[in-house]
Structure 1
Amino acid sequence: MENVTIIGAGNGGVTAAYHLAKNGIEVCLYDNPKFSTQVDAISDSGKIVALSEHHGEKMMLSGSAEIKIATTDIKQALSFSKNVVMVCPSFAQEIFFKDMLPYLTSEHRIVIMPGNYGGLVLNKMKEDAMMPELNLTFIDCISIPWACRIVEPGVICIMGLKSFLPLSIFPKENTTSDLLDTLKKLIPIPIEVLDDPIEAGLENINFGGHPLLTTLNMGILENFEGNYNYYRDCCSVATANAAAKMDEERLAVGKSWGYSLRTELEAMNALYDSSYETVYDFNRASTTHVKINSAPASSKHRYITEDVPYLLVPCYELAKSKGIRVPIVESCIHIASAYNGENYFKTGRTLEKMGISQQ
């Protein structure tokens, strides 16, 4: 039987543990002792429950699944399986990886959801730690497979599931048929293998929809405390036009680095098996996204604190290295930095942090 260790017990991590266990894979779920609420609840009950209905909306993949181990012991977690799926905010990747390093072997494969250039950053951390003998394999996914939420400790709801999941394998020479077979078991939807973590980072569909729409709507988001549907209510004709211009900047950066990227609309239609004619139509009517009746309530939400420093800043840096202007991306970073009193140009994921030389 295949087994897996899930690192991170947030919305995506608990859902990953549930779905993979439901598919017959033995699961160890880990989180840091400081954030043990989910792990403690699941350890006590021995299972995760997925609701069939939530707030009057029908959910997917309902039922319960037994979890083999739920722990806050990182050594125990990494000894459980060579297959590791890290599902956490990008800012936590380095924190988790620092704790993981002493217990990792060259047999470990680390799937990162979402990657956001994480494979490059974690590989550089390994090199900086003077561990050349440690030949790790990093798999950067552009997102997570599920639209999901934790309802209460050990209880989730799954609103939707992507049709497939693009990902990269780094170093590329570690790609084997055995690895691909394992990934097809660990990722419960079809996969698409991209060239490298840079392409995977640029293909993340959160790029425009999250940080730009959140930035443009911050006044109403804060004043109404996020009590409405983000995708339907924050996307207007005008904001969709701005997002389209921002997407053109991303596509230009990708082209300068040799990638033929999907447009935001192409990606969303492909991932959710839909055929909307505009991004505006998708956000207003997507059957998956209209179920999520919530929105960011402040500038400290991950749509800003994760997507700006870990998606927009790398794009800006990749553009700058090729002499390309990305004024909307740059403006969004400046505004988000002003919102939170932080210079995301410095604290975000720079080429130096990714181990990429200026070209």
Structure 2
Amino acid sequence: MHLASLLVAESSLLRVSARQKEEVIRLLIESLAQTRGVDVPLAIKDITSRERKGTTVFSGERNGVAVAHAVTAACKQVLLAIAVIPDGISWNRSDGPRLKVVFVLIAPPQAHGLYLKALSRIGHLCEADKMIDALTQANSVGELIARVSEGEASLGEIVTDDGMPSFCVLGAGHGGTAMAGHLSMLGCKVNLFNRTKARILPVKELGGIDVRGVVSGFAPLKKVTSDPAEAIFGMDILMVVVPAIGHAEIAELIAPHIKDGQVLVLNPGRTGGALEVAQVIRRHNPRVRPFIAEAQTLLYAARVTNPGQVQIFGIKNSVPLATLPAYHIIDVLPMIRKALPQFVPGDNILKTSLDNIGAVFHPAITILNAGRIEDTHGDFEYYVEGVTPAIAAVLEAIDRERVEVANALGIRATTAREWLYLAYDAAGRTLFEAMRANIGYNGIKAPPIIDHRYISEDVPTSLVPIVSIGEMLGVATPAMRSMIFLASAMHGVDYWAEGRTVDRLGIANMSVKEIRFLVAGADSGSSSPPSSSISQTED
């Protein structure tokens, strides 16, 4: 990574006529806000606070540059902008030297290491009058950035991983590409793995990802590969970002190569993801002991827009994360939060698995609108026009069954209505009213075809495990069972046979006490271990 890649061209300014440093800082921050969504009042407050502790001026023999900088929650990535002031400005006092170049550098707390390296690089770059003269004589912003790039060419890459964990992102779809790009821009070493070479070839040729949206810039990657051993070697955290139906295959691919202490996170786990992956890894590599975790939902709303390019529309403020067993959260979460503080502790994997709202909405809405989807190719608003009072009544029946299965396990699951209020501030006396009150659903189109992940992923990895657990514990789930039957008939696939049944999760014939013991923290040395193969020591 270089300074030139951190510079925001659209927010850098030539021929600024400001007379006071506060004015220059505000101009640059407001310009960054227009292109990068910076919280202007907070950024200015934090920069002002940092300025009171001491200003940062790098000087040559004749000229100097000022750097207004701060670590602040006002931004989501490291941002750098330049202002050139032809008449100069007195930075500290009226009789002080007049500076013609001002940098603004801001960074989120988790990118503190990259922030310090960038600040040091600016000082190195601007210790000579020749560079400062080149910046002041630039005739365009493009020329300005070219001067910076030329000046730091001999300095090499900014080494950015001090104190930050390294990541391998497994999966180069929308979410995986977004995660890899975001982590790189925070200063982490990142490898990207994908099972098919064709998808990652453009990224490999570019050497990274063109990231746009709420964070923006070029994100260089350490390795881009389809070799699982090469991808995960030496990496601290392995982020699996593939459809849940691919979790078992990914686990099988990496099982021979994963090492003790590496952290494997499913993004998200859907229902029973951590249990299934633990079974697969134990079967293929019984002696290894990685940490296994699952997120409740995906951190990003993103879309791959062109080969090697991703648009990040949003990054969630918080996503619950749970480990298997639960007590490992204190080992796993602090390391992940160094880069991604949005992850917060979840109760356990039963809670993250059963608070799976996609299980309620996706299969039923799609199946009950099958005729309309095939007739219009999905040209209607999925959550608005696709949810009538009658369909909402079916969703409520499915939701009640999910909550009852959770209750049988001693888990207080969030209802779909509660989730809509918590996630979107959408309230209603019924689920139908709450969904209609959610303006975030406006404009979201239905899938264009029936052969869609809302069925092919959510039925086997969400509905099947909930129903299977429910039946084992004596909880009736007729509405969910009906959806599994209809989905199987529509697709000509036995989703029950392919899905995450209790056998596949390794919890068949276990009591509630045994399941909770396993999830909370059973080990093979316990005096009364549960009967699951997950907890058995294999020699």
Instruction: Indicate whether the TM-score tops 0.5.
Output: yes
Distance 1:42 1:279, change over 3 A: farther
| Aligned mate of 1:99, from 253, 274, 279 | 253
- After superposition, the Cα gap between the structure-2 partners of 1:120 and 1:81, relative to the gap in structure 1 and judged at 3 Å, is same
The answer to whether the 8 A contact 2:180-2:190 is kept is yes
CA–CA separation in structure 2 for the residues paired with 1:228 and 1:51:
28
- Residue 90 of structure 1 corresponds to 244
- Contact 1:49 1:155 (C-alpha < 8 Å) held by counterparts: yes
The reply to whether residue 20 of structure 1 matches residue 183 of structure 2 is yes
Partner residue in 2 for 1:5: 168
Cα RMSD (Å) of the superposition? 2.0
- Between 1:220-229 and 1:93-102, the stretch displaced more is 220-229
Aligned position for 1:251: 403
Q: Which residue of 1 aligns with 2:269?
A: 115
How many angstroms apart in 1 are the aligned matches of 2:399 and 2:381? Answer: 23
Q: 393, 400, 407: which is aligned to 1:241?
A: 393
The 1:38/1:280 distance shift into structure 2, 3 A limit, reads farther
Aligned in 2, Cα 1:231/1:62: closer, same or farther, shift over 3 Å?
A: farther
How far apart, CA to CA, are the structure 2 residues paired with 1:4 and 1:47?
Answer: 14
In structure 1, the partner of 2:201 is 40
Is there any run of 5+ residues in structure 2 with no aligned partner, and where?
A: 1-160, 512-539
Q: Displacement of 1:18 after TM fit?
A: 1.6
- Within the candidate set 359, 372, 377, 1:207 is matched to 359
CA distance in 2, matches of 1:73, 1:302: 26
Partner Cα separation in structure 2 for residue 37 and residue 266 of structure 1: 42
- What is the one-letter code of the residue matched to 2:193? Y
Give me the whole-angstrom Cα distance separating, in 1, the residues matched to 2:216 and 2:393.
38
CA distance in 1, matches of 2:385, 2:218: 33
Does residue 354 of structure 1 match 2:354?
no
Identity of aligned residues (%): 28
2:450 aligned residue: 299
Q: Deviations over 1:82-106 (max 9, x none)?
A: 2100000112111111111111111
Whether the aligned pair in 2 keeps the contact of 1:166 and 1:200 (CA below 8 Å) is yes
Larger radius of gyration: 2
Hey, what does 1:125 align to over in structure 2?
Answer: 280
Q: 1:149 to 1:89 in 2, by over 3 A?
A: same
> CA contact under 8 A between 1:299 and 1:305: conserved in structure 2?
no
Aligned pair 1:158/2:321, yes or no? Answer: no
| Aligned residue among 328, 338, 343 for 2:489 | 338
DSSP-derived class of the 2:209 partner: strand
Instruction: For CA contacts below 8 A with separation 6 or more, give which structure has more relative contact order.
Output: 1
The 1:309–1:44 alpha-carbon spacing in structure 2 relative to 1, beyond 3 Å, is: same
Task: Indicate conservation of the 8 Å contact 2:174/2:303, yes or no.
Answer: yes
- SS of the aligned residue for 1:97 comes to helix
1:180 aligns with 2:333: yes
| Alpha-carbon contact 1:203-1:261 (below 8 Å) kept | yes
Is the 8 Å Cα contact of residues 164 and 192 (structure 1) preserved in structure 2? no
Give the C-alpha shift of residue 289 in structure 1: 4.1
SS of the residue aligned with 1:134? coil
5+ residue gaps, structure 1, are 53-59
The 1-side partners of 2:496 and 2:291 are apart by 28
Q: 8 Å contact 1:89–1:306 — kept in the other structure?
A: yes
> 1:284: how far off?
4.4
CA contact (8 A) 1:17 1:29 kept: yes
Is 1:167 aligned to residue 321 of structure 2? yes
Matches of 2:304 and 2:438, distance apart in 1: 21
Letter in 2 for 1:139: A
The answer to whether the Cα contact below 8 Å between 1:163 and 1:271 also exists between their aligned partners in 2 is no
Structure 1 residue identity aligned to 2:379:
N
TM-score, with length taken from structure 1: 0.89
After superposition, give the CA deviation of every residue in 1:223-245 in whole Å (9 maximum; x if it has no partner).
21123432333222322222122
Conservation of the 8 A alpha-carbon contact between 2:426 and 2:435: no
Task: Classify 1:212/1:43 alpha carbon distance in 2 versus 1 (closer, same or farther; 3 Å).
Answer: same
Q: 1:285 to 1:15 in 2, by over 3 A?
A: farther
**Count of equivalent residues:** 345
Assess, with a 3 A threshold, how the Cα gap between structure 1 residues 310 and 61 changes in structure 2: closer, same or farther: same
**Residues 275 and 288 of structure 1: is their aligned pair in 2 closer, same or farther, counting only changes over 3 Å?**
closer
Structure 1 residue 286: Cα displacement? 4.2
In structure 2, give the amino acid aligned to 1:164: S
Judge which range, 328-337 or 35-44, deviates more: 35-44
After superposition, the Cα gap between the structure-2 partners of 1:68 and 1:193, relative to the gap in structure 1 and judged at 3 Å, is same
Q: Distance in 2 between matches of 1:279 and 1:45?
A: 47
TM-score, normalised relative to structure 2:
0.61
Distance 1:80 1:28, change over 3 A: farther
> Could you tell me how far apart the structure 1 residues matched to 2:327 and 2:200 are?
35
> Deviation of residue 49 (structure 1)?
2.5
Would you say 1:192 and 2:355 are equivalent positions? no
Question: Which whole-Å deviations, capped at 9, do the CAs of 1:40-73 have from their partners, x for residues lacking one?
Answer: 1111112322344xxxxxxx33443222322112
Question: Residues 275, 19 of structure 1: CA spacing in aligned structure 2 closer, same or farther, 3 A cutoff?
Answer: same
Verify the 8 A CA contact 1:5 1:85 in the aligned structure 2.
yes
Q: Does the CA contact (< 8 Å) of 1:21 and 1:65 recur in 2?
A: yes
Structure 1 residues 254, 65: closer, same or farther in 2, change over 3 A?
same
User: Counterpart in 2 of 1:57?
Assistant: none
Asked if the contact 1:9–1:30 (Cα under 8 Å) also holds between the matched residues in 2, the reply is yes
Indicate if the aligned counterparts of 2:291 and 2:332 stay in contact, CA closer than 8 A. Answer: no
Conserved in 2, the CA contact under 8 Å of 1:37 and 1:153? no
Residue 109 (structure 1) shift: 0.6
